[in-house]
């Protein structure tokens, strides 16, 4: 799955609850920037994104930056384990 396809899927997941505000690529990988309408929306969307990443076999090396705190995909799996 490429960045464009992933961005489209995430956009579909967050519709009405947030927005994909940008994407980019660099030497160390790529990024997708997302802004959420509320903390509740963010939690729901993060769970949906985690499920999508797992379904597509996206690597554990993925990093999430949530309010300035960097977390790995495995960290988020652990945080949201009961919801997954």
Q: By residue range, what is the domain housing residue 31?
A: 3-79
- Global pTM value: 0.69
On whether residue 31 sits in a domain, the answer given is yes
Structural domain count, the chain: 1
Q: What are the distances in angstroms from CA 59 to CA 2, 32, 53, 64, 66?
A: 13, 15, 8, 12, 18
On whether residue 84 sits in a domain, the answer given is no
Q: Per residue of the chain (84 residues), what is the pLDDT tens digit?
A: 777 888 888 888 888 888 888 888 888 777 788 888 887 778 888 888 888 888 888 776 777 877 778 888 788 878 877 776
Helical ranges in the chain per DSSP H: 3-14, 39-55, 73-79
């Amino acid at each position: 799955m490429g960045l464009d396809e992933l961005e489209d899927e995430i956009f579909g997941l967050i519709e009405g609850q947030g927005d994909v505000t940008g994407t980019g690529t660099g030497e160390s990988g790529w990024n997708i920037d997302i802004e959420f309408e509320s903390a509740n929306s963010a939690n729901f969307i993060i769970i949906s994104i985690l499920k999508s990443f797992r379904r597509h076999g996206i690597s554990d090396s993925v990093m999430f930056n949530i309010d300035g705190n960097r977390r790995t995909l495995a960290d988020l799996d652990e945080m949201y384990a009961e919801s997954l």
